[in-house]
Structure 1
Amino acid sequence: MLSFKYASKLALPVLSLCSALLFTSCDSNDDNPTPDADSSFVMSLAIQGSDGGFTYYTVPFSDLMTGPLTAKGQGIEQPGYYDFTQIDNTIYSIGGLDDVNVVGISKNESGELKQIGNVSFPNSLSDIIKADDNTLVGVEMASTSDVIKFHTFSANTVTVTATKQHLVSAITNLKAPSYSGMAISGNNLYLSYYISDPTTYATPHTDKAQIAVFSYPGLEFQKVIEDTRTGPIGGFNTKSGLTEDEKGDVYALSHSNPANGYSQVTNKPGILRIKNGETTFDQTYFFDVEQLTGGKTISHLKYLGNGKAFIEVNTAARNQQAAWTDGPLRSAIIDLNSKTLNYIDGLPEHAGSGRRLAALQDGKYVYMSVPEGNSIFVYRIDTETNSATKGAEVEANFVAGISKL
């Protein structure tokens, strides 16, 4: 399955000594340390075994700026393929490949990490988002299925409370719409997608942006909205196609990057907007990414608040990007309102991991991991000064998630 190959291909070379150390010590409870009461940071570390498969260790840390940061003797172990996203005080690990389950990770009263709930589906969930304080919404979109399934969850128990199913033909007469983003605003759920051949992963339809609109909470199909000012929304496995601001406005990121799963390019990259509760694109708004970046594109976007977003800019022109590389990337802060961009000083150009951006916002800081040669380091980014400070080295093949509980 491509998602596993992509993650494997983009992971750093195997750190054999580190991997052996982690696998040996994590299997033993004899030296499992008592978590520090101040261990509020949590990282999900991916370690590749000798068979080529990955195991993920979700581990608490008191500080990300001093290290090394290792999974030795602690953390929650999950072999397979997992995607991590934090919603409020719970980290949700979404399984893929053969482990199509969803598990919540939180803390008990003594500060130790614990697992809550465990639910499985016929296909892996593409994503989970927050609907309200008690409800989450997940979606199944598999290239082998002719249906799209929405599941609502109880946030506290990770149990399914309802399921709504739609035929793929409701949103497109083409095969294999691939998930790229989801947002809920007003009485609508917005689902962005692009078309990818289920066998070759080619993307022959790149001439417009398309978003399916469903009612919420009823999850009834309403319509598909389109815009030809840019191409499809989002990309393979980045899950950042749609983001919502405090006003309920939804922003849709389009890049059509070969480095993020596209086999061709048609329209210019840009960001579109849907105003709160509307079912049309706002024709008065267009964020011309190509003009602002000098012909470059945005690969990843994480909304920070007050119209600001942390982004990863692919510094190669789209006709020069190597397929499925998720790089080379340069970090920046954009303002969606003023349409301005400021690059981050002190952060090296780097490769991504071909998956959801592992970055944590903590006040004015953003923490993220950056590969440098055969090593990985945490960087703390000051979003007020647009500068970065190098932190601890991470003993892993790649970092799948950074959270704070």
Structure 2
Amino acid sequence: MNKSQDNAAKINAIAKTGIPFLDNKFLEYYKNQTKNVKATNKLIWVNPYSDLHYLYTRSFYLDKYPLSDTLKKATKLYLETAKKDWLKYSLYEKGLAALTLNRFGENESAKKIIESLKETASNNEDWGMYWIANKAGYYWYQAPIETHALLIEAFAEVNHDTRSVDAMKVWLLKNKQTKNWPTTKSTTEAVYALLMQGTDWLSVKDNTIIKIGNEKILTKKLAENEKEAETGYIKLNWEADEIKKEMASIKIENKSKVPGFGGVYWQYFEDLDKIKSNSAAVLSVSKELYLKKNSIKGDQLEKITNNNPLKTGDLVTVRLVIKSKEDMEFVHLKDMRASCFEPVNILSQYQYKDRLGYYMSTKDAATHFFFDSINKGTYVIEYDIRVNNSGEFSNGITTIESMYAPEFSSHTKGIRVKVN
């Protein structure tokens, strides 16, 4: 007996004992619920947390372990209630209800749930098909990855809607690009949905043509970098002496119906004062310096320009404005500091300001900010520094980047600071 057969035998042994046990527990629960119900055909309340999960689990074993007459009568009442109440369910529970109803022969009701889900979904060329309401929360059913994977299964099984399934798979991949799948369960569910549902995305090979400048990527360059098994992932690097001006133009052509995604980023050395800002990215940051003055009305901020140079002892407020066009996780912001500035707060600590939580770490040449997550929106971070030297200094740049995907990064321009 090979390993696969051994595992199947163990699973069958568990099911042989587990299914009758669950059936008996469900019947006990059903009898307790219906004690005070006068009419036998009256609808009973279905607890989505447990009842739907039992029926969903039981639906996998209907042929091998047929329902008894008593169990058929009990499940019929629960299914009738689910057909009536599904509009009140969460996204996850709707997917669970659609799959369960479909497997128990209630195909029309299952299709109604799928059509409703399709009408409330958002469709985007870049992000595929998804639900805005599918957000992480306190309750077990507020798990975005598990919910999305279950809905993929429901669309594939109930309506055989391959087009919608493929669009939903795009969202899963894009989500992974800048986020962490938080649990082994979410990762397992997502991988299962990607591999087992919709079009086979692993069947197409060498379907992408990449041109850098006027030349295709050379076969030699591809041969030097072995592709990752199955996914076709490949990472290419160019040394400084290989870079040409024409390579700033990149053309990518997908020859198949199967989508793919990747990123391009260029790392190089440049004088800090010559760096220009890059603020049109998905994730961007801008920086401004303000002179903080005391007045009768309290602290006032005056923007620092070349016309109003600083003097030793001045208190300066650094204002960083972060803009994110998408939800992201694990982001690093590095704010360089001119040598004439000394931080007021030198202690590294966790802070929460302007709906944003981050760990702030002060180092010799820069202040670092580490974000577990940044939701879509605009945020302002401010902190104070003190002028301690006179002269003209380079204030460096401020850089923000996704630790998961280096193509999502941005920086400010290099600026100079004059202190009299």
Which TM class, normalised by the smaller chain length?
under 0.3
Higher strand share: 1
TM-score (norm 1): 0.26
TM-score (norm 2): 0.25
Higher helix share: 2
Greater CA radius of gyration, 1 or 2?
2
Structure number with higher relative contact order (C-alpha < 8 Å, ≥ 6 residues apart): 1
